[in-house]
């Protein structure tokens, strides 16, 4: 009797684990800011950020899987310089009137270690072009949100890509490096 009870409890526990559902998290736009660094003629590094974004993360820590789906509002680009912001939105760079004001990133969470992903293998669609861009997750952590009483996850992500691959070649003839470094702080709250 004791052994059958133990077996039943083990089976129930295994079944519960096998059917653990993935959790969907909504990106918190007030705590998520993709920032970037870009060369200026080899003499300085210009930095900026994107102020508006939205999306979802689906995470199944037990299965070691998940994916992200993020929209980035290019019209909210912020170099801290109004004239440069306007130029970046214009026809010589993002050309939001022609290509739309949204970049899109979709990727798969991978490299799980102790239930936490270490990388996102995905694709960035920018300026009408889609190319692979992998994000390294330098930090990933989930905690109970102290006010919302739902799970809150956050990450520090980084990547580098060549902007010329997306047709963004402004400054290339003047010796600008086409490499752009991304640094992304992101937080997401479990959906209701």
Region label for 180, one of left (φ > 0), alpha (ψ between -120 and 50) or beta (otherwise): beta
Q: CB within 8 A of 118, min separation 6: which ones? A: 110, 111, 112, 136, 137, 140
Burial zone of 86 (CB within 10 Å; 0-12 exposed, 13-18 middle, 19+ buried): exposed
| Sequential pLDDT tens for the chain (192 residues) | 455 544 444 444 444 444 568 999 999 999 999 999 999 999 999 999 999 999 999 999 999 999 999 999 999 999 999 999 999 999 999 999 999 899 999 999 999 999 999 999 999 999 999 999 999 999 999 999 999 999 999 999 999 999 999 999 999 999 999 999 999 999 999 998
Q: Looking at residue 11, what is its pLDDT?
A: 42
């Amino acid at each position: 009797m004791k052994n059958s009870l133990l077996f039943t409890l083990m089976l129930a526990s295994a079944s519960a684990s096998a059917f653990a559902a993935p959790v969907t998290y909504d990106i918190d736009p007030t705590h998520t800011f993709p920032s970037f660094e870009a060369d200026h003629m080899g003499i300085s590094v210009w930095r900026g950020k994107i102020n508006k974004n939205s999306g979802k993360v689906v995470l199944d820590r037990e299965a070691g899987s998940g994916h992200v789906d993020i929209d980035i509002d290019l019209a909210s680009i912020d170099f801290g310089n109004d004239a440069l912001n306007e130029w970046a939105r214009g026809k010589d760079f993002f050309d939001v009137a022609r290509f739309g004001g949204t970049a899109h990133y979709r990727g798969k969470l991978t490299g799980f270690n102790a239930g936490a992903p270490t990388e996102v293998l995905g694709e960035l669609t920018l300026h009408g072009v889609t190319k692979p861009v992998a994000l390294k997750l330098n930090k990933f952590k989930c905690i109970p949100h102290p006010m919302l009483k739902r799970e809150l996850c956050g990450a520090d992500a980084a990547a580098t890509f060549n902007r010329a691959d997306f047709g963004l070649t402004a400054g290339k003839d003047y010796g600008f490096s086409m490499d752009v470094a991304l640094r992304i702080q992101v937080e997401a709250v479990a959906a209701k």
